[in-house]
Amino acid sequence: MARILIIDDNPHLLTALRKLLVYKGHFIIDVPNSGVGIAMHKKEPFDLIITDIVMPGKEGITTIIELKKDYPNLKIIAMSGGGSNEPYGYLDIAKRVGADRTVAKPFSSEELLEMINELLAEE
């Protein structure tokens, strides 16, 4: 069982991901913004963070940079639907600033679970 934090401003996606990952046996916390997520990780670190890129306030790119600066070994999956832009540009940037894996929305449960399993197996 891994401690996983999900950061996304879409409450429907948070609910779906939480249900999927709890069903797979993980301890899940989900939050609607990066500020809360970073504070929670500093208080009690997670094994893996899944973060959206395009969000109001602090975007995912900044979140990844901040987290990797203080926690270089932290596993991070970045996800994006791209907003008004193509998601792959954001995901490429996320990878360059430290995301371990990236995934474009919409994605399958299997695709996300495979990434999570790969990253957790690296620990």
pLDDT at 32 over 60: yes
Helix intervals (H) in 1-123: 11-23, 34-43, 60-70, 87-97, 109-121
Please state which CATH number belongs to domain 3-121: 3.40.50.2300
pLDDT at 88 over 80: no
Q: Is pTM, for the whole model, over 0.85?
A: yes
Q: In degrees, to the nearest 5, what angle opens at C-alpha 98 toward C-alphas 41 and 62?
A: 65
Give 28's Cβ-side CA count (13 Å radius): 19
Q: Which of 122, 119, 118, 116 is nearest to 26 (CA)?
A: 116
Contact 103, 60 (CB under 8 A): no
pLDDT tier at 9, thresholds 50, 70, 90:
very high
Identify which has the larger pLDDT, 110 or 87: 110
Residue 122 confidence (pLDDT): 86
